[in-house]
Every structure is written in C-alpha cells, then in structure tokens.
A and B are shown apart, each in its own frame.
Chain A
Amino acid sequence: MINPEYLPLIFAALTALAVLVYAILDGYDLGVGILLPMDNLNHRNKMIASIGPFWDANETWLVLAVGLVLIAFPTAHNIILKALYLPATIMLIGLILRGVAFDFRAKAAEGSRLLWDRLFKLGSIIASTSQGYMLGMYVMGFDDSWMAYGFAILSALGVTMAYVMIGAAWLIMKTEGELQANAIQWAKWAGRICFVGIIAVCTVNPFINEYVFERWFNPPWMYLYLMIPFLSFSLVFLHDRVVARLPLENDRGSWLPFLITIVVFICCFSGLALSFYPYIVLGQVTIWEAASAPESLMFILWGAIVVIPCIAAYTFFSYRVFWGKVTDLHYY
C-alpha cells in the first residue's frame, strides 16, 4: 500500500511529467505550425502530413496535465486559471484554430486552403506565445508589476523559440531534400536564439525573483542547480555543432537534433520544477496544502498505474507505425 502522505508528491511528479511530455510532443507540432512557409504548398503539405497522425494525442497531454492539477490540486487550479483567465482563453482560441484548420484545409474548397493554412500558422503562434506568457506569469507568482509582465513577454518569446527549435528538429528527422535543408537552417537559427534566451532567463529570473535566488545560490543545493543551466548551454552548443554538419550521407544522424532538443527540454523543465518545489503556486500554496482528499487520489492513482504504461505502449506503437520519412497523407 502507498502511504497517503506521499500522494501529493506522487501527483506533483505525475503532473510535472504530463506537462513535460506535453511541451515536447505538442511543442514539435506547434513548432511545425509556426514554421509553415506560406509560399510553398508542397512543403506545407509535407510538414502537416508529418504531424497528422500525432497532433491529436499530443494535445491530449495538455488535457491530462490540466486535469491532473484539477483533480489533485483543485485550489491551485483555481488560483492559476483565475490569474491567467485571459491568456488561457487566448491560448484555447489558438489551439481551436489550428486544430480545426488542420482538418478543414484538407476538406474545404481548394480556394480556401491558403486561408486555413494561414489560420493554422496563426493558431500555432497564438498558442505558443500565450503558453510562454502564462509560464512567465506563473514563474513570477502572478505578480502585478512591469517586471513580471516584462519577464512574461520574454518567456513568451523563449517558449515560442523552443517550440520552433524542436519543430525544426522533428522536420530534419521526418523529411528529406529541400525541405530538410530548410529545416536545418531553421534549427540552426532557432537553436542560437534559444541559447541567448536560456541565458537571459537564467540571469533575469533569480534577480527579479527572490525565492528562486535563494534556491539557486545557497550551498549545497547550489551546485546541483547550477549544473542544470550549464548542461543546457552545453547541449544547445552541441546541437549547433551537429546541425552545422547536417545533412550527412544516407541521412545519418538526422535524428540527433531531435534527441538533443528533448534533453534540453528536460533540463530546462527540471530546473524550473526544482526551483519551485514544494510550491505549486510560488510563495502562496505548496503541493501539500493544495492536495485533494487522499481517498480520491488513491482511487485515481491505481488507475494511473495501470493505464499510463498502456498509453506509453500504444503511443510508442503509433510512432512505430508511422516511422520513417513522411509521405503524403491519405485518408484511406
């Protein structure tokens, strides 16, 4: 039996995992959406085909993440979504636009395809920037100051660039020829901008956020915390070097940028999560204070223990089925 005292910790870990998986998975398909070139229909078709079988399941991780906060930490869910009411709505509109544009573009009249593609791109941009903005406000504890808003805007740009980076890496892996060459250029520039972005966030955040400052610059934990940005810098640098050598013969190493970017995501995310623990709303509510009743958490935990490995298994299976370079999508 699991000790009920550990339940908030277990659910915090599960939630963090769901958010991380969401950022990686929907990150690459949002990134692909942002990168859509409006002057090349063939490339747009290929790019959208590369995410076609996956985007639906990817967005489900957002529902799971929001759902887990709602189930396990209802108090935090209320505080967070009340504070982020407008940006959350704008993000939802963005997600709605891109989700429907994906299907309408293939089925509506030929003449309106460009319109739906524009909406797909616009929706991807709106969703990414508002997610970054929300993350920034969340990190700042929903502070109502120009510094907080400034940081949130920085974060909006940073998250969007991170999504572009992972989206470009996905395309390097899934496409070939001219489109792959373009993706390599996109990945190069996105990686460099992300490098600057990570430096900016790491320098700005501890100085405008006292709590994070104490966390980061207090031995002995300091060494662990400072490892994370250092590791991120090295990885982004490595990414840049790898991308500079691509494409190689027989498409060797085309999966490397994607793998490296995933590790960068994991680093940045764990840095963030560790700076927060045990708070779920910075400086206001800890995971212990916000947790729901243990009998409810226990009931859902047993389900999660059984179901999550199944989800992982069939998600893996689905990626296996659509392994390799992308071909045009056919609905049959």
Chain B
Amino acid sequence: MADVLMLSRIQFAANISFHILFPTITIALCWFLFYFKLRYDFTGHPVWMRIYRFWVKIFALTFALGVVSGITMSFQFGTNWPGFMEKVGNIAGPLLGYEVLTAFFLEATFLGIMLFGIRRVPSWLHTLSTLIVAIGTSLSAFWILALNSWMQTPQGHEMIDGVAHAKDWLAIIFNPSFPYRFSHMLLASLLTCCFLIAGISAYRLLKGDDKKAPTLALRTAMYVCAVAAPLQVFVGDLHGLNTFEHQPQKVAAMEGVWETEKGAPLLLFAIPDEDNRTNHLEIAIPKMASLILTHDPNGEIRGLNEFEGEHPPVAPVFFGFRIMVGLGMLMLLTGWTATYLQVRNKDYPSWLLKGLVGMTFVGWIATLAGWYVTEIGRQPYLVSGILKTADAVTDIAPANVGLTLAIYCTVYGLLLIAYIRTVFLMAQRAVEIEEYDKTELPGYAPGEQALEPQEAKA
C-alpha cells in the first residue's frame, strides 16, 4: 500500500502542480485584459488594442492548458483518492459543484465571445465579456480555495458515523484560513502576471521592438508590481500568523524549530535533519522568528517535538518557504527599482531588461513553492484532524498508477516546453509583424502615418 500511496501522492502533486501554473496566470491576466480593453474604449488609442490583442492570444493558450489539465483533476478524486469523497464528500462535493456551476460555464462561454466575437458584438459587450471571464476565473479561485482552506482549517461540520456532514455552510466557506489564503493566491496570481507581462515585453524590447506597446505593457506591469509586491508581503505575514494560530506544527516546520522555545531565532539558512531532530549550518537572526510570529521578542514558539508523528516532513516545507519568501523579496526589489526609473523618466538599462526576461516565469516558482509549503505542511493529514492522507488512497494496482503517472509526466513535460517556446515565439513574431504606428512614438512629425490594414478594414 505504501507504494500506491507514494505514487498517488506524486501523481496528484504532478497533476495539480501542472494545472495550477495556468490558472495562476489566467486569473490575473484577464483583469489586465479588462484594463487594457477599458483603456482602449476610453482613450480610443490603438496601442491599447494592440496590447490587448497580443495578450489575449497568450491568455487563450494559457486558458486552454488550464481547462484540459483541470478536467484531469475532476477525475483524480475518484480514481486515486476514494477515501476523500467517502469521508468529506458532503462538504467537498457542493463546493466543487458550485465552482463548476457558477464559474466554469461562465468563463468558458464568454471566452468564446471574448476571443472571437469582437466583430460580431458591440465593443461594450466585448469589454463586458472580458469582465465576465475575469469574474469567472476569480470565482473559480474563490470556490476551490474555500475547499482547500476548509481542508486546512475545517469548521462548520459535524461528524456522524465517521462521515462529515455540513452544519453551517457560511462557516464552512469562510473558515479561518480562507480570507488569507484567497487574498494571498490572488496577489500571487497578480505578481505572476506582472512578471510574465514584463518578461515578454522586455524580450520584445531587447529584440529591437521599438513600438510603443511593449514599453507601455512593461510599465503597467511594473507599476502594478510595485503596489502588489509589498501588499503580498503584508498579506503573507497575516497568513503566517493565521497558520501559527491554527496549524502550529506547519509553522514549526517552516521555521525549523525543533524544541519549544522562547525568543526563537529566524533561520535565514539551515539544513534540517529529521533523523537527529536538529538543524545543521544555521545562519540565524536572534529572536526574530518570535518577534514576527508573536510580536514579542521573547514570545513562545511550539517546536516540532511537541507534535512528533503528527507533523509534516520538515525539509520540503522549510526550503519551500525560503524559496517563496526569497523570490517574493526579489520581485519587490525589481518592482521598486523599475518604478523608480519610470518615475524619474529614465530608460530601463539593458541589465534590468535581461533580468526581467530571466524572471518571466518567476511567479510560477514562487507560487508552487508556496503551495508546497501549505500542502506538505498539512501532512500527515489530508483534512486536518479528520482524515489522514494514507487512509484516503485507492487500492488500484501500483503498476497502473505508475504507468499513468509516467504518461502524465511525459505529456506535461512536453506541453510545458511547447508552451514556453510558443509564448516566446509569439513575442518574436510580434516584433516582426505587428504594424508600426509612428504616431505613438515621441518626437513623431505628423504627415507620415501609413494606414494600417486592420484599421482600414474596420
């Protein structure tokens, strides 16, 4: 059984990690698109339409990958985790059901109009469709995070014959960790998008694209980042405090605290050793962890040894947390540097552009690291205090699980390569073919404007 358990966990992790990459982009990208379209509607300036057109194609591609990998998720519950639905299906089922009913159909249907309908509906209706898709993607995040948060901090239910029954749906949806996790994820999505837009736009600039669209998109993204990144630090801190209150063992693993101590140091780096229940190579700031978590330099943090046998594996949670926070700080720094240059009306130096290209998918890594912290941090439970992961797993033959895992990994690996290559290829193509509009450039002398093909047609 241990084999099936491990294989099923890897399979679920592979599926959901692959899946989350795409919603992380689409949730926020659609709000960006709505903003671009709105700017176009109000200013009538074609550059906003061009930005919209370029990014809506990337949105469509990303959305398609999200949909197909999401269909797989709806099967995984039954195929690999039958115990989950048996035990908490009465709670999880309706939350998933509301996601399908209120969000999936909404976004999928209006996506058709948003992508292909601009010549068939009035412009305001097209803008409205973009808004509806944006609301749909956010609603879908709302429901799935309500369920995930309930699994972390369950409430509003009662156990009858070992099965969870709903007592108070509002309490279930707005469980203690939900507001923090939801805002943390929305901001993560926003930051991921900021760096995707910035990275691709910087790539276009470096390839010699002297049109206004990439510069404008890059600036918009960096302004948003300059606000969203510090906000994320703040929300992340609140989320951490909430976890400290409800899941102290997870925080102990994040901070690498073995023995309960007062005035615990903040470990910048260490190698946790679970066999000997200690850390090696610690680099620490004294009393800082206690100060952050309890707002008192001598506050008490409960150590992992208090939860022996009931706490998550330490190393992945510990390192995942540091990767997430480290990348978050890097994003903050980048956002502020770029904004400083923008406010001072200076051009981006090429090292910054190159750095941004390198950071195109940095949001993915930070988001995944964060999810690993919170999901591995919940172990050995699948639903905190109610259901252990080992008790929910299927009894399908390990060979079958291994076979399907190998198929999924191959397909996902290839698709990921194809996705990243295609996104850069689309940027390259935009450099080459998207029409110049010299009127948008500073220092343009009127009278030399060429009529654009698509404007001429419309």
Taking Cβ atoms with an 8 Å cutoff, the residues of A that contact B are 52-54, 56-57, 59-60, 62-64, 66-68, 70-72, 74-75, 77-78, 80-82, 85-86, 88-89, 92-93, 95-97, 99-100, 102-104, 106-109, 292-293, 295-296, 299-300, 303-304, 307-308, 311, 314-315, 318, 321-322, 329-332
Contact = CB atoms under 8 A, between A and B. Distances in A.
Interface in B64-92: 64-65, 67-72, 74-75, 77-79, 82, 85-86, 89-91
Interface string B404-431: 1001100100010010001001100000
A86 B400 CA distance: 7
Given A77-B78, A86-B404, A332-B56, A321 B120 contact: yes
Interface in B82-112: 82, 85-86, 89-91, 93-94, 96-98, 100-102, 104-106, 108-112
B55 to A, nearest CB: 10
For A60, A62, A86, A311, the residue with the greatest tally of chain B CB atoms inside 10 Å of its CB is: A60
Nearest to B104: A60
B101 A54 contact: no
8 contacts: A56-B64, A57-B111, A85-B79, A85-B404, A292-B89, A292-B93, A308-B101, A332-B49
B147 to A, nearest CB: 12
Contacts of A100: 64-65, 68, 415, 418
Contacts of B101: 64, 300, 303-304, 307-308, 311
A331 B115 contact: yes
A85 B396 contact: yes
A301 to B, nearest CB: 9
A107 B57 contact: yes
Contacts of A93: 407-408, 411
A307 B102 contact: yes
Contacts of B280: none
Contact of B100 (A63, A72, A108, A293): A63
Contacts of B169: 299
A2 to B, nearest CB: 16
A82 B82 contact: yes
A300 B400 CA distance: 34
B360 interface: no
Given A56-B63, A318-B110, 12 more contacts: A56-B64, A60-B67, A78-B82, A82-B394, A85-B79, A85-B400, A93-B408, A99-B65, A103-B60, A307-B105, A314-B106, A321-B117
B404 A103 contact: no
A56 B112 contact: yes
A150 B403 CA distance: 24
A296 B116 contact: no
Contact of A332 (B61, B74, B118, B407): B118
A81 B85 CA distance: 13
A222 B65 CA distance: 47
A191 B23 CA distance: 40
B113 interface: yes
Contacts of A107: 57, 61, 422, 425-426
Contacts of B63: 56
Given A82-B394, A100-B68, A314-B109, A53 B93 contact: no
A293 B97 contact: no
B80 to A, nearest CB: 9
B108 A296 contact: no
Given A64-B100, A108-B418, A300 B93 contact: yes
B121 interface: yes
Given A93-B411, A104-B422, A331-B53, A322 B117 contact: yes
Contact of B86 (A78, A89, A304, A330): A78
A108 B67 contact: no
Interface centre among B56, B101, B111, B115 (most CB of A within 10 A): B101
B108 A60 contact: yes
Contact of B90 (A52, A59, A108, A293): A293
A70 B96 contact: yes
A78 B85 contact: yes
Interface string B167-207: 00100000000000000000000000000000000000000
Interface of B: 49, 52-53, 56-57, 60-61, 63-65, 67-72, 74-75, 77-79, 82, 85-86, 89-91, 93-94, 96-98, 100-102, 104-106, 108-113, 115-121, 163, 165-166, 169, 394, 396, 400, 403-404, 407-408, 411, 415, 418, 422, 425-426, 454
Nearest to B423: A107
A296 B166 contact: yes
A67 B404 CA distance: 21
A56 B107 CA distance: 9
Contacts of B408: 89, 93
B155 to A, nearest CB: 16
Nearest to A52: B116
Nearest to B132: A314
A77 B400 contact: no
A122 to B, nearest CB: 13
A92 B90 contact: no
Contacts of A72: 93
Contacts of B121: 321
Contacts of B403: 86
A57 B112 contact: yes
Nearest to B68: A99
Contacts of B86: 74-75, 78
A94 to B, nearest CB: 10
A70 B396 CA distance: 18
A307 B104 CA distance: 12
Q: 6 shortest A-B CB distances, which residue pairs?
A: A53-B112, A71-B93, A81-B78, A99-B68, A57-B108, A74-B85
Contacts of A59: 67-68, 71, 108
Contacts of A68: 97
Contact of B111 (A56, A85, A104, A106): A56
A166 B319 CA distance: 53
Given A53-B117, A109-B425, A71 B61 contact: no
A59 B63 CA distance: 13
B97 A303 contact: yes
Contacts of B75: 66, 81, 88-89, 92
A154 B93 CA distance: 34
A314 B102 CA distance: 12
Contacts of A75: 86
A102 B79 contact: no
Given A81-B75, A100-B65, A331 B57 contact: yes
Contacts of A295: 90, 165-166
A294 B245 CA distance: 34
B78 A82 contact: yes
Contacts of B78: 66, 70, 74, 77-78, 80-82
B109 A57 contact: yes
Contact of B116 (A53, A57, A82, A102): A53
B93 A70 contact: yes
